[in-house]
Amino acid sequence: MAAVQETVATVPIRTRQKRSAEVIVVGASLSGLQAAHEVQRSGSSCLVLEARSRVGARPAYDVSPSVDAFDESKHARVVQLARQLGLAVGPQRPSDRLAMEGLGGSEAGGIPDHLAEEDCRSFVRVRDNVEHLCQRVDVNRPAQLLSNYGSMTMHELAVSQGGTAAVQKLVSAWATALFALPSDSVSALYFLVHCKSNGGLLETLSLLGGSQGNLQLPGGSRRLCEELADRLQPGSVLLSQEVEAVDQRAGNKCVLTTRSGDEFHCTTVILGSPASQCRSLDFAPGLSEDKQWLRGHRAPAPVDALEPERDEEVACLAVPAINLHNLQRDQWRPEGSIVFAGSETSFAWRGTAEGALAAGCRAAGEAVRALGDRPSSVPVSRL
């Protein structure tokens, strides 16, 4: 791919580079590459810095590395982009069973077939009650239910709804699949908020199981990433460039420093990786009080035999309930010259390719508008 440039040294001594662009995207994820594509389409210059040696950090719900299923009526951006890129989109073979190990091997919204009779009744009660609670959530005002569920974990919610030990294990499997955390470490309220953004619990479980959709795209979202990267201007994507610091103290100029010692200058930064990964970045000045919770922990990735290349750690996307007040006030607004584009910043279909594309388009729009609001002192590189 002409747009992708591997920057690992091939000789013992390498010259530290300095490059500039109007916009720099940190992370060659689907949302990051979509943002870069939209920025370049607007006529602005853009670079993408990726810490790994390949593009294509996949959204949380992409279970299979080779095939993704999409519902054309709900994932319009994904299907439209695939067709614009000339990719083959075909009918999905019907499947009633969830593929995610630990969710019970059930029909979408059905009853896991290995449960005893008492556990089946408990499962239906917990599933239906959680679905009902999801529909009560306003994703734009999540703190409204803090008094009811703000101090409760997802495990405690399952117990309060009469979940048996077997059902509690299933609920914990849901939490682990979504957030790489057990249910006793996930806020019940944020679990409800997250599911509501995807249409509810049943829709979310269907996404996790890979049974959601009437169309399939061979290669999945990783293929979308590769095709988007290939359509960027040559040299736009720099691999093996792990950003360590983002300094925006110099007026209308941002300076990004990578582990290799390279320096990049821009007017606007788009964080294309999951927002919680910013805990590893040194921001100057620091993030506002409303985003300090992003400095939180990471969690071990769940074992996934279907994806041997999965990172050893994944970003924990579960927002502690106490921070939902901050998120409600903040709504992922830009931090000075920094714009957030992770798929979890989308108000719909969080953690999915659809959410990633929506977030990438929104972030690109914010970045381009910011460029128009102020003069740029950054020299435009010839990409």
Amino acid type, 32: G
DSSP 110-142: S--TT--HHHHHHHHHHHHHHHHHHHH--TT-G
Amino acid type, 296: G
- Ranges 9-13, 34-38, 185-189, 349-353: which has the least confidence: 9-13
**What tokens were used for 381?**
């590189």
Contacts of 66 (CB under 8 A, 6+ apart): 218, 219, 220
Asked if 238 and 50 touch (Cβ cutoff 8 Å), the reply is yes
Single out the residue of 374, 380, 381 nearest to residue 251, CA to CA.
Answer: 374
**What tokens were used for 150?**
């703000």
Instruction: Check residue 186 and give left, alpha or beta (phi > 0: left; psi -120 to 50: alpha).
Output: beta
Average pLDDT over residues 204-228: 77
- CATH code for 117-209? 1.10.405.10
Q: So where are the chain's domains?
A: 57-92+213-235, 117-209
Q: What is the CA radius of gyration of the chain?
A: 21
Cis check for the bond before 285: say yes or no (omega within 30 of 0).
Answer: yes
pLDDT at 1 over 70: no
pLDDT at 238 over 80: yes
Average pLDDT over residues 171-186: 84
CB atoms < 10 A from the CB of 93, how many?
8
- Ranges 135-149, 153-167, 213-227, 319-333: which has the least confidence: 319-333
Averaged pLDDT score across all residues of the chain: 77
Please tell me the predicted confidence (pLDDT) of residue 258: 96
DSSP 319-377: --GGGHHHHHHHTT--BTTEEE--GGGSSSSTTSHHHHHHHHHHHHHHHHHHHHHS---
Asked if 254 and 24 touch (Cβ cutoff 8 Å), the reply is yes
- Ranges 25-34, 155-164, 187-196, 359-368: which has the least confidence: 187-196
Please tell me the predicted confidence (pLDDT) of residue 329: 61
Give the integer Cα–Cα distance in Å for 26 and 274.
10
pLDDT at 221 over 80: yes
Element (H, E) at 147: helix 146-149
Considering the chain, what percentage of its residues have pLDDT values greater than 70? 71
- Ranges 102-106, 303-307, 339-343: which has the least confidence: 303-307
Please tell me the predicted confidence (pLDDT) of residue 330: 61
**What tokens were used for 253?**
């100029």
Average pLDDT over residues 205-218: 68
- Ranges 13-22, 257-266, 296-305: which has the least confidence: 296-305
Give the integer Cα–Cα distance in Å for 154 and 159.
9
* Residues, the chain: 383
pLDDT at 57 over 90: no
**What tokens were used for 155?**
């495990």
Average pLDDT over residues 325-340: 76
Amino acid type, 84: Q
Amino acid type, 49: L
Please tell me the predicted confidence (pLDDT) of residue 351: 73
The sign of the torsion formed by the CA atoms of 129, 134, 136, 142 equals positive
